[in-house]
């Protein structure tokens, strides 16, 4: 379970998060929505302990991680699997080496076993054919899928964290990624999806948070989201209804 208790965070003089409090249980599918620069990615980084809050507490599975050292945080991070914006693949390694990175680092598997596991993970995400390619030879969609495969190789995560997993992708590839994200969460593992694409968020999540000016403007389920009177959310919902209309008229 993730608990944010009155968390403040700022980059210099820019207060990104102001007194944020929320709780996410480990089997929930949560989407954090908001415009660019509203602190959505910052929340993911705080959960992983990559940055420290200015004030407040972050509690993961009952443990306050706010003041943990880098070594202590390693154990906490193993509970999560994150896919960063645009994949964050190691650009000097090919797809196989990227996915095998953690296996080589931590497991005692032989090279044959690593090869087998890498192929298996790439098959799950549907990019087995790209095993020898370098990251700069991959399309945006393939990039994200390889990043998902790599995050799966890292550990047996309790929760998945996705940072703008579908941003910059065409609708077909975005849909593939959404389905993949849902498939991976089928066995009850929760996720936090950070996005500004509400159309993709409603496909995946069951709970929605909306960040604006450093505070959570809205926190509720799909039903509450649809009937929300918050003007910013209405703008986002209009995008969804326009997309739906376009889909219907397109047959």
Partner 1 sequence: MKIKELISELQDFYLLSARGLLGAVKKPFYLKDMIEQMDYAGAGSFVIIFLVSIFTGMALSLQLSAELSSLGLKMYTGKVVGISIIREIGPVTAALVYAGRVGSGIASELGSMILGHQIDSLRVFGVDPMKKLVTPRILSSIIMLPALTIIGDVVSLCGGYYIAVFVSHQSGTFYWSSIRDVLTFENVFAGSVKPFIFGYLIACISCYMGLSTKGGSKGLRKSTTRAVVVSIVMIIVSDFILTRILLYVLGFSV
- The residues binding partner 1 (CB under 8 A) are 45, 48, 50, 70, 74, 77-78, 80, 82, 84-86, 88-91, 101-102, 105-106, 154
Quote the CA–CA distance of 232 and 136 in Å, as a whole number.
36
The smaller minimum CB distance to partner 1, of residues 102 and 240, is found at: 102
Nearest distance in Å: CB 136, partner 1: 11
The smaller minimum CB distance to partner 1, of residues 102 and 226, is found at: 102
Q: Token pair of 84, please?
A: 């960063």
Q: What are the backbone angles phi and psi of residue 173, rounded to the nearest 5°?
A: -65, -35
DSSP letter assigned to residue 155 = -
Nearest distance in Å: CB 107, partner 1: 12
Q: How many CB atoms lie within 10 A of CB 181?
A: 23
CA triplet 243, 195, 31: central angle to 5 degrees? 95
Nearest distance in Å: CB 78, partner 1: 7
The smaller minimum CB distance to partner 1, of residues 29 and 77, is found at: 77
The smaller minimum CB distance to partner 1, of residues 105 and 156, is found at: 105
Q: Parallel, antiparallel, or unpaired for β 159-163 and 80-83?
A: parallel
The smaller minimum CB distance to partner 1, of residues 80 and 208, is found at: 80
Q: Is residue 140 left, alpha or beta, with left meaning phi > 0 and alpha meaning psi from -120 to 50?
A: alpha
The smaller minimum CB distance to partner 1, of residues 78 and 226, is found at: 78
The smaller minimum CB distance to partner 1, of residues 48 and 55, is found at: 48
CA 200 to chain centre: 12
What are the C-alpha distances in Å from 55 to residues 25, 45, 61, 186, 188?
A: 22, 15, 19, 35, 32
Considering only CA atoms, which of 78, 85, 83 is closest in space to residue 106? 78
Considering only CA atoms, which of 179, 170, 167 is closest in space to residue 125? 179
By the 8 A CB rule, do 89 and 135 touch?
yes
Nearest distance in Å: CB 238, partner 1: 31
Nearest distance in Å: CB 183, partner 1: 22
Nearest distance in Å: CB 49, partner 1: 9
Nearest distance in Å: CB 102, partner 1: 5
């Amino acid at each position: 379970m993730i608990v944010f208790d009155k968390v403040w965070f700022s980059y210099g003089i820019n207060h990104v998060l102001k007194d944020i409090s929320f709780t996410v249980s480990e089997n929930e599918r949560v989407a954090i929505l908001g415009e660019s620069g509203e602190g959505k990615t910052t929340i993911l980084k705080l959960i992983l302990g990559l940055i420290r809050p200015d004030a407040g507490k972050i509690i993961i599975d009952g443990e306050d991680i706010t003041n943990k050292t880098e070594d202590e945080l390693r154990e906490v991070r193993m509970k999560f699997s994150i896919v960063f914006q645009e994949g964050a693949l190691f650009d000097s390694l090919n797809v196989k080496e990227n996915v095998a990175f953690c296996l080589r680092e931590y497991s005692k598997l032989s090279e044959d076993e690593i090869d087998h596991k890498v192929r298996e993970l790439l098959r799950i995400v549907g990019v087995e054919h790209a095993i020898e390619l370098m990251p700069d030879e991959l399309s945006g969609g393939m990039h994200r899928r390889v990043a998902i495969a790599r995050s799966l190789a890292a550990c047996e995560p309790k929760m998945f964290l996705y940072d703008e997993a579908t941003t910059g992708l065409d609708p077909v590839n975005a849909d593939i990624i959404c389905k993949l994200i849902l498939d991976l969460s089928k066995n009850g593992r929760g996720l936090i999806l950070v996005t500004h694409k509400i159309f993709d968020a409603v496909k995946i999540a069951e709970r929605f948070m909306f960040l604006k000016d450093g505070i959570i403007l809205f926190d509720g389920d799909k039903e509450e989201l649809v009937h929300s009177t918050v003007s910013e959310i209405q703008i986002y919902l209009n995008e969804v209804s326009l997309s739906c209309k376009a889909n219907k008229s397109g047959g």
